[in-house]
Amino acid sequence: MNINRWIVAALSLAGVGVLAAGANHGGPWSDRAEAGASYTTVSVAKGDTVYGIAREHGSNVPTIAKLNGLKDPSLIRVGQKLRVPVKGEPVRKQVNDEAVPVMARGKSLGEFTLTAYTSGPESTGKSPDHPAYGVTSSGARVAEGVTVAVDPEVIPIGSRVYIEGIGYRVAQDTGSAIKGKRIDVYMDQVNQARQFGVKKGVRVELVE
Q: pLDDT by residue (tens digit) across 35-85?
A: 445 778 888 887 778 877 887 777 888 888 888 888 887 788 888 999 888
- Which residue blocks in 3-159 are alpha helix, DSSP H? 5-14, 28-36, 50-56, 61-68
Please provide the average confidence, as pLDDT, over all residues in the chain. Answer: 76
d(CA 65, CA 54): 10
pTM of the complete model: 0.52
Residue 106 has pLDDT above 90, yes or no: no
pLDDT digits (tens, 9 = 90+) for 118-134: 998 888 888 888 888 88
Three-state secondary-structure class, residue 132: coil
Amino acid 129: pLDDT = 87
* Average pLDDT over every residue of 161-183: 92
d(CA 22, CA 71): 7
